[in-house]
Amino acid sequence: SVEISDARLEVVIPTGNGRPALDANVLLPWIEATASDVSLAYGRFPNASAFVIVVPSGNRRGRGNSPVPFGRVIRDGRESVELFVDATKPLSEFLDDWTATHEFSHLMVPYLNSDSRWISEGLAQYYQNVLLARSGAYDQARAWKNIHNGLERGRQSQPSMSPNEAARQGVRSARMKVYWSGAALALMADVTLRERSDGVESLDSVLDKLQICCLPSERSWSGPEFLRKLDSLIEPSPGTQTAKPVFMPLYDRYADTAGFPDFSEYFASLGVEIEGSTIRFSDDAPLTAVREHITRMDTDAAQWRRRLTDQ
């Protein structure tokens, strides 16, 4: 068991069948640190009793030389996150990897049907970078460059397809569009909520309410159903009885439109300037404070990670 805030995660390690041994002194601190990263979204882990299944597998599948070449969420019965790991890697490499943060971030939303996969994958893409910046694993420059570069890859992927079409075609045909269209939507919604509420509301706060009311969920949701629910959780504007929606207007604008959501104005307003491999932050931009709040480092989390890395 690994305890995170009010959550107790049960960690399962299959053994035998010639699998390489996995060092618990590497595994458990990494799981605890990564799950704690996800709690930086709204103060607690999204599922208080999830399974984490860690499969020592070398690096036979997935990404290059990564310590975690593959991961996925399993929603049959009790929610589980399955992580395939290279048992030869040191703790420092696990702590610098994003796979577990991405998979744990999926638990902040219900299972979305395959046509809406771009929304759930994109939200996890966005949060893996935001949360690793908050935990101190990434500095702000690395986080914003990762987000920008990912959005650029999404923009260049299958320009004749809409996000919904890309999801129906599947990841093999349009991986970057599927994974980054929803990240653009998440960024736009987060910035809009923070700007118009002077920082009172955010994507974090809306997902917090979603977890309280509706998670974990045992059924499949459609993308529009999910986004309408998020809109219903936004606080009404002062002096009004209803909240102005954010999520469904973005969906209606982009979901069935060929190309990619235009994120350039958002980066300009946030003061994020990228030219080639160089990133600069402008403190004169109108939404500088929003940018800093999105990726602001949590000092306690960062100090704890540094201690783990130095072990």
* C-alpha distances out from residue 66 to 25, 84, 106, 132, 184, Å: 19, 10, 20, 16, 25
Between CA 42 and CA 209 the distance in angstroms is: 9
205 — pLDDT class (breaks 50, 70, 90): very high
Residue 62, by phi and psi: left (phi above 0), alpha (psi -120 to 50) or beta? left
Instruction: Quote the pLDDT of residue 283.
Output: 94
> To which H or E segment does residue 213 belong?
helix 203-214
Q: Do the beta carbons of residue 291 and residue 281 sit within 8 Å?
A: yes
**R_g over Cα of the chain:** 19
What pLDDT, in 10s, does the model give residues 123-170? 999 999 999 999 999 999 999 999 999 999 999 999 999 999 999 998
Q: Is the pLDDT of residue 63 over 60?
A: no
Three-state SS letters, 56-101: ECCCCCCCCCCCCCEEEEECCCCCEEEEEECCCCCHHHHHCCCHHH
Q: Is the pLDDT of residue 177 over 90?
A: yes
Q: Is the pLDDT of residue 13 over 90?
A: no
The least confident of 10-24, 68-82, 142-156 is 10-24
Instruction: Quote the pLDDT of residue 304.
Output: 87
> To which H or E segment does residue 143 belong?
helix 140-156
Between CA 268 and CA 59 the distance in angstroms is: 39
Q: Is the pLDDT of residue 78 over 90?
A: no
